[in-house]
Amino acid sequence: MLSVSDKTNIAAFAKQLTSLDIEIISTGGTSQALREANVPHRQVDELTQLPSMLDGRVKTLHPRVHGGILGKRDVHTEEAAKYQIDWIDLVVVNFYPFSKAVTPDMPWDEVVEYIDIGGPTMVRAAAKNFAWVGVVTDPEDYAQVVTEIRDMGGLTASFRQQLAEKAFGLTSHYDAMIHRCFMQKEKGERAYPDTLNLRLQKKSELRYGENPHQKACAYQFDHGNAGVFAAEQYQGKPLSYNNMLDAEAAWTCAQEFSQPACVIVKHANPCGVSVAENIDLAWQHALEADPVSAFGGVIALNRPCTVKIAEAVANIFMEVMLAPAYSAEALEILAKKPNLRLLVMPEHKVAEWEYKFITGGILMQEKDRQILAPDELQIVTRTKPDEDAMNAMLFAWRVVKHIKSNGILIANHKSTIGIGAGQVSRIDAVDIAVRKAGDNIRGAVVASDAFFPFRDGIDRLAGTGIRAIIQPGGSMRDEEVIAACNEHNIAMVFTGKRCFRH
């Protein structure tokens, strides 16, 4: 039985089957493709003795089809003969492209016409009866099917079981897509489903995980067409587990900005971020922010890589570079660093959700896409930030949400100059950021991903030349912290929003 929506190589496959003396039964669209290729076959209505009916909703839902698929060859032979049911030993079916065809604004009466009934029913039946029946849902399997039939006289039991496993994976995914469509139409795109179905395909086996003794593999969402998984790699070894995590962190941060931006990441934390009038300057300032930490890091550019950047990168050690494009000259220069992984990134699509696995389950949350405007900030100190300080704080806030908490970020104009990330106390994060900023700290601003629980962080910043602080506020000791800022003539604004990243 051949009934496919994806007709890739179906005619060639059918010709190979007929050359092996296999009789083919087919349905409407597939039958047309076989006729055009001059492949002999019977149409399904010849088998059922009934026409396609109810606008095509009923074609294969018939005992002569499903009996032929489901019958046990060692038990049901006499009953099958009584009802003139011939065995169907191979079912080749894939479904209407529901996810590609259905749009969010499509009316229900059109949506339901893309819900395949006959196809999934035949696939489930054949997969259930894999002891006797082969079920093929992926054109990639056509070659092995032909090889086993030709060389062994039929499909091996192990291969039939593999095909059944893949088939049930397809039907579960298909039903999950329809379920999600119903849920979104009823509750909206940002709804939390009562049942969460995640379908991922194995993308690649990785050399190892976070450490060499850990095995690892990468899986991609079926609908995944963005981010690192969708990138084109020009050169370098395959991405490792850690490479992928760092590349994701760098690219996500770079996409915060519409201006030319460069982000350098080390161990999943930005160590240098800058926006500038051109990408060359953004790169230069990002590297200058912390050149020691940048060694062996990951670079993300939100503009094409230039010759100037390529020449600079060719003289230092970096693991991965991401950009929307590379000039021909830049590629020629970077080719001299064959171990540097170069990724061409697709157009960025912001994900609605992010997931984290924990023992026994999964956590799901909305992406933190907050972007603050100046009029959303509450100035709480006697000293008022000027426009330049306000812009620097808004820049710092957009970056600090990409830093592991507790996070403190020091920025000057549109570049980071000191980052304290992932500390268990805020004062430790302040100490690290101040030390990294060094002599560049005078006139800079500070962003804190959560409130200051004590005034010690402010006192540590006193005398450094910090002129303004942006933080959520909300501590029991806010008044104490504000008083410290007033004592040291530091402006402070509250966002009213936190931006933890665990």
Active site residues: 128, 267
Contact 273, 299 (CB under 8 A): no
Q: Give the C-alpha separation, 150 to 254, whole Å.
A: 54
Q: How many CB atoms lie within 10 A of CB 58?
A: 15
Q: Is 446 exposed, middle or buried (0-12, 13-18, 19+ CB in 10 A)?
A: buried
3-state DSSP call for residue 299?
Answer: strand
Tell me how far CA of residue 299 lies from CA of 21, 223, 239, 294, 317, in angstroms.
58, 26, 14, 9, 11
3-state DSSP call for residue 72?
Answer: coil
Contact 417, 437 (CB under 8 A): yes
Overall size of the chain counted in residues: 502
Q: Rounded to 5 degrees, what are φ and ψ at 117?
A: -110, -55
Q: What is the 3-state secondary structure (H, E, C) of 240-280?
A: CHHHHHHHHHHHHHHCCCCCCEEEEEECCEEEEEEECCCHH
Q: In what order do the strands lie in the sheet with 25-26?
A: 42-43, 25-26, 2-3, 90-93, 134-136
